[in-house]
Structure 1
Amino acid sequence: MGGGSTTVSILTWTGYGDVQDAIESELDGTSLDISVTNGSARMFSTMNSGGASEYDIVIPNNEYVPRMMEAGIAAPMPQDVVSNYENLFPRFKQASESQFASDGEIYGLPIRFGWYTYGFDSSVLPEDHTQSFDVLFSESYEGTDLSGKISMYDGYYKSMMVTALHLGYRDAFEGSEITLSDEQISEVETALTEQKSNVLGYVTDSQALTQSFQQESAAVAYTNRTNILNVQNNGIDTMRVADPEQPELTWFEGAVVSSESSNQEAAWEVLNQYISPEIGAQLAEARLIASTCQAAQENIGGEYEDRLVIDPSRLEGMIPFKPAAKNDAWVEAWQRVQAA
C-alpha cells in the first residue's frame, strides 16, 4: 500500500487488489484499503448496518445497486470526475442510465461483467446444433442423447430465469423487476421438475464443473461464461460457449460510492481508474473477467483475446439481472423442485 494522505476503503470481490499498485501509482496521494467478501447480499447487509460510514466504495452485482439507492447509501456520480465513463460499452452505459439512475443522476458504475449461458462439449453435442436454451430441457437434442448429462446452476434465481426464457416469457423481463405471474411461476416449476431426470447435478463451483467434463459425465452446463472458460482452460479444448437464440442474462459489478463517505471525490477517481483502458485491461486479465470499458479491449494481451475481447454486438439484447417481483414465490417454487 502506498503512503498517500487519502485512504479509500473498498468492500468488493476477489481480484480488485490485483491492480492496487497500478491505481496508487496513477493517483498520487491516494492509497487503497481493500476488503474482500463473498456475495452481494452480504455487501448490502454490511453497508446497510453501519458499513456506509466505514467503506467509501462497495462493488456488488448490479441488481443490488437499486437497493442501495433506495436505502439512501449511494452517492451520485460526478461525470466530470469519471471521465472514462464515455469508454464503456454502449450496453453498460444504457444499463447504468436506466437501472442505476434516479432524477437525472447516476448512482452506480459498471466495472466488470459476464453473462449466463450454456457451455457444451462439442465432441458430444456438435457445434452446428441449433443453439437454444431448449437444449437444457431436452433428453435428446437433434440426435444427441443428453439424458443425465445436463448440469444446471445451483440457485433458484438463475435457474428459474433461464427456464422462463426457455418458455418464452420475455415480456416479464421488460421492467425494473421480473414480473412472472403466478401461473408462469407454476409453469417454470413444472419445467424444472420435469427436467430433473436429465440433470447430472446442480453446480456453482467451477472446479466441480470442470471435473464433470473431465470425467465425461456432463455434456452441457448452464453457468457463468467465466466458468465455461475455466473448463476450457483446464484442458477441455472441445468446450464451447453457446450463443442461444433467446436473450442471455448479463451480470455486472456496479460500484457505489457511499453517501456517508468523506472521500467521495477520491473514491470516484479510484473507480475511474478501474474502468480506464489500461487498468481495466489489467483487471480483466487478472481473473479472466471482462471489463465494461470497451476501450480496454485494445490493451488485452494476445493470449487473452479469445476470452476477454467481446464484440459489442454480442451484448445487444442481453438482459441485466434485476430483482424478482414475487421473490418469495420463486424461492418456494425452487424448494419444491429440489424436493421433487
Structure 2
Amino acid sequence: MNNQAKRWLVGLGSALLLSTTVHAAEQKLFLFNWSQYMDPDIIKAFEQKYHVDVVQSYYGSLDEMYAKLQAGGDSQYDIIVPSNYFVPRLVKAGLVQPLNKAELPNLDNVMDRFKDPSYDPGEKYTAPYQWGITGIVYNAKVFPHAPDSWSLLFDPKENEGQPFSMISDGQVLFGAACAYLGKGYNCTGQQNWVDAAKLVLKTKQRSNFTGFIDGTPVLQQVARGVTQVGMTYNGDFLADKESNPEGFKDLEFMIPKEGAEVWVDSMMIPRRAPHPKLAHEFINFILNPKIGAQLSNYNMYSTPNKASVQYLDPLLRKPPALPTPEQMKRLEFTPSLDGKQLQLFQQIWSDVKSR
C-alpha cells in the first residue's frame, strides 16, 4: 500500500470516528426535573426504545430552575418540568418554545380538565406531567380532633405548645393565609398580600414555630416528631407513608375546608433545546397510557392522562391522591405573577422572611 493510500485510509478513519462521536453526542436527552420525580424504569424503557442516553439533572425549587435557564440553561436542557404558575413567566421571558402537536399524538389522552389551561391557553407550550395538592400533614395522635382547616397552622389555640412549620414557597403560603382569612386561595393584590403577610408574621413569631420548610423534607420532620404540623404535597405524603408505614402510622394529610392549592407540573421544551425532536418523542412517550400510569404508580401523584386511569393502583383512585368532587371545588391554581405585580409580591415576601 503506497503512502497516498495510507493517508486516505487514515483520513477516512478519522472522519468516521468524528462522525460516530458526533452521532453519539446527539443521542442524548437532557432532562431537568425535580428529584425523585421519575421512575428509573421509565428512563430505561425510553433509552432502549430510542437507543439514546437520558442525562438527568435536578433542581430543588422553581426559582433555581428559572435562574439556570436564564444563565444559558435554555440551550443545555431538552425537557423541563415546571409548575403551572411559572409557565407564563417562562413564556414571557422567551425561555421556552412552542410544542409541535403533530409530533404528539398522545396529547389526545389528556383529561378535559387539563386542556386549554389558564396558565397556557391552547396548550401551546405545555403537556401535563402530573398533578397534586398542597395541604396539611399532622400527627393525628397529637391532634385527635384536628379541624379540617388552616387554623391548625394559623390559630395558636389549635396547635398550642406543639412545634409546627410553614412552607417555604411564599406564594403558596400566602395563598393558604388568604384562604384562612376568607379571601380565597388564589388572592392577589397589595392589600390581600399585606393582610396575608401580617398573619404569617404573627404566626412566625410564636415560640413553637420551627421555620419555613419545603413540602418534601417536612414529612420526615413530622414523622420524627421534630414538628407536628406542616404543609406538604399529597403524593409525597403517600409515597413516604408506603415506604415507612410504621413511622407514618399516626400521620394524616388534610385538605383545608377554606381552600387549597391544586397544581400541575408540565413538560416544556427550552427555547434552544439541543434535541427538540427527541424531546417531543419523550413527551409523547410519557403520555402513553401505560407509561403515564407507571409514572403515577411510582411517585404516587395523580395522572392527567384519562387513558392511564385503568392501570392505576387502587390507592391512587381515592383521597388523598384523588380528591372528592366536593374537595375539588375548593382547590385553586396558584396565580401567575409578572412585572410590577411580581416585584411587589417579592418585596412583601422578602420582608416577611427577614423579620
- TM-score band w.r.t. shorter chain: 0.7 to 0.9
Q: 2:130 aligns with which of 112, 127, 133?
A: 112
Q: Matched residue of 1:237: which SS?
A: coil
Shift of 1:113: 2.4
Match of 1:159 among 165, 173, 194: 173
Q: Deviations over 1:197-227 (max 9, x none)?
A: 2643122274554334433x64432223344
For 1:144-169, what per-residue CA distance to the aligned partner results, in whole angstroms no more than 9, with x for missing partners?
x5444432113433222211121122
Tell me if 1:267 matches 2:289.
no
1:40, CA displacement in angstroms? 2.4
Structure 2 unaligned runs (5+)?
1-23
Q: TM-score, normalised by structure 1?
A: 0.79
Distance in 1, Cα, partners of 2:78 & 2:216: 31
In structure 2, how many angstroms separate the alpha carbons of the residues matched to 1:285 and 1:212? 24
Whichever of the two has the greater Rg, that structure is 2
Give the equivalent residue in structure 1 for 2:254.
242
C-alpha contact (below 8 Å) 1:214/1:236 kept by paired residues: no
What is the CA distance between 1:119 and its match in structure 2? 1.9
Q: SS of the residue aligned with 1:64? A: helix
**Cα distance, 1:191–1:298 mapped onto 2, change above 3 Å:** same
Q: CA deviation at 1:310?
A: 2.0
Partner of 2:45: 22
Relative to 1, partners in 2 of residues 1:327 and 1:83: Cα closer, same or farther, differing over 3 Å? same
1:321 pairs, out of 318, 328, 334, with 334
TM-score under structure 2 length normalisation: 0.76
What's the counterpart of residue 296 of structure 1?
A: 308
- 2:17: which partner in 1? none
Check if 1:42 corresponds to 2:64. Answer: yes
Counterpart among 18, 28, 33 of residue 12 in structure 1 = 33
| TM-fit CA distance, 1:118 | 1.0
The 1:308–1:123 alpha-carbon spacing in structure 2 relative to 1, beyond 3 Å, is: closer
Describe the SS at the equivalent of 1:184.
Answer: helix
Deviations 1:91-130 (A, max 9, x none): 32242xx2123xx561111202222111222223346x54
SS in 2 for 1:32: strand
Q: CA deviation at 1:4?
A: 11
**Cα separation, 2, equivalents of 1:253 and 1:65:** 9
Q: Provide the C-alpha distance between the structure 2 equivalents of 1:259 and 1:41, rounded to a whole number of angstroms.
A: 18
Cα distance in 2 for partners of 1:338, 1:43 equals: 21
Other-structure match for 2:202: 194
Q: Name the count of aligned residue pairs.
A: 322
Candidates 200, 204, 207, aligned match of 2:214 = 204
Aligned to 1:85: 107
2:75 is matched with which residue? 53
Deviation (angstroms), 1:133: 1.8
